[in-house]
Amino acid sequence: MTTRSPAAEQAAMVRAGEWSAVDVLEQHLAAIEAGDEAIHAFNLVTADEARAQARAVDRKVADGGDPGLLAGVPVALKDNLCTRGVPTTCSSRILEGWKPPYDATVVTRLAEAGALLVGKTNMDEFAMGSSTETSAFGPTRNPHDTGRVPGGSSGGSAAAVAAGFAPLALGSDTGGSIRQPAALCGVVGMKPTYGTVSRYGLVAFASSLDQIGPFATSVADAALLFDVIGGHDPLDSTSLNRPTPRVLSVIDDGVDGLTVGVLTEFLDGAAPDVADRVHQAAEALAAAGARVEEVSVPEVTLGLSAYYLIAPGEASSNLARYDGVRYGLRVDAEDTVAMNTATRSAGFGDEVKRRIMLGTYVLSAGYVDAYYNQALRVRTKIIDGFAAAYRHCDVLLGPTAPTTAFALGAKTGDPLTMYLSDVCTIPSNLAGHPAISIPFGAGDDGLPVGVQLLGPALSEGTVLKVAAALEAAAPLLAPPAPAPGPAEGVAT
């Protein structure tokens, strides 16, 4: 088995002078121009900046130089990744128009690898959501069915890759915000081990949980993008000070001798058609040479409760900086306290306000031990539960999301139902472990189903080679239909 890497193949053609970076870019910009009015994957398309990058790549090739592993490959960036001089809004009114004075480390590494940064993608406001409907700039729509959500919070990045607007994209994953939209949009999405990819320049939601990772159309492309962005960064105090192994070179090694545990707790809440796909994935891995068994990690059922104490607590602290004084929106008032209140009231949406209030409550005197500290103890129990499973399993298998993509507006009035969309992804964030979602056919409604592989810390190589084996056995998934234009009645 040799896993295809379309982005790597495209970069190789550009590096060899067989295809110009400018031509590659113009094709993708044309696709964005034709289709994104209906999808709204992007908050901002940086066409002029990307054209300058493409011309620089072509000049380097003409001069006999090597532009890098991603030469001429368009990449979309989630709108919480700082890009110097380019608006970075986190899809919030409070940062509308704010231009960072520096680049995130991952942005720098992409540029050094010759990537073309085509724009900033829509997201749930400050990454708080599971459907990209909390964006202050309107929802993103699923390319497979524009009446459905793309997942969240990185729904714009997932939709951009699914719709063919960019071969690669970056998102951030705090409780499943890469993997869940990848599943709903039918693309590959990976959350690396916490600390393997620098968070410098990522606008923080929950600092002990946030992790940047790749979206791609193939496992090999996800591995390639991880190879480019991973590695120690002295600018990030949480960055692991150790070599990050290259993973693209091992993904074709197969699964012989590996043990895969099917995580029963994740299947218990999954829709029947999603559970069926997970069982088919398990059978495919067994046929490929892996040993497959059922595994129980009861502690993961506590993940949702612990997460919605820890993450809002950290968000309450992180978002205190948006006060109308230093940057972003400022609503003038008669004194500083009134100005702070007016600015935050006008600048934050309902979901962000809900989580700030919840987080402030659980951190307050008299409640921090009963709630926040107790959640930290539960987090340790989840880590211990995974450790017990990994003593006899190399990876775990389950659904990425409990259902296929749901209708726009179906869950916006019920926050708890929306939060349950991440029940299968949150435990990996609490543990800091890597996990990946791979498309594995469609549900009964014809929409994509993603299956999820989880591994212990720093097991990206193993997780990706199992993912490659699953990808090779996956049922065919129909590509999205061309996005309808506004003349066909799709609201934007």
Positions annotated as catalytic residues are 78, 153, 177
Between the alpha carbon of residue 463 and those of residues 222, 452, 456, 468, the distances in Å are 12, 10, 9, 9
Burial class (CB in 10 A: 0-12, 13-18, 19+), 147: exposed
The whole-angstrom distance between residue 393's C-alpha and the CA centroid of its chain comes to 25
Residue pair 1/252 in contact by the 8 Å Cβ criterion: yes
The one-letter amino acid code at 94 reads I
**Residue located via tokens 């796909």:** 277
Tokens coding 81 = 């990744």
CA dist 67 and 409 (Å) reads: 44
Phi, psi of 454 (to 5 degrees): -120, 145
Q: Tell me how crowded residue 20 is: count the other CB atoms within 10 A of its CB.
A: 18
Sign of CA dihedral 72, 78, 80, 85: positive
DSSP letter (8 states) at residue 197: B
Residue pair 201/82 in contact by the 8 Å Cβ criterion: yes
Tokens coding 142 = 């699923």
Q: Tell me how crowded residue 332 is: count the other CB atoms within 10 A of its CB.
A: 9
The whole-angstrom distance between residue 330's C-alpha and the CA centroid of its chain comes to 30
CA dist 265 and 299 (Å) reads: 9
DSSP string, 92-115: -GGGTT---SS--HHHHHHHHTT-
CA dist 269 and 266 (Å) reads: 6
Instruction: Compute, in degrees rounded to 10, the torsion defined by CA atoms 326, 329, 334, 336.
Output: -30
Q: Tell me how crowded residue 60 is: count the other CB atoms within 10 A of its CB.
A: 18
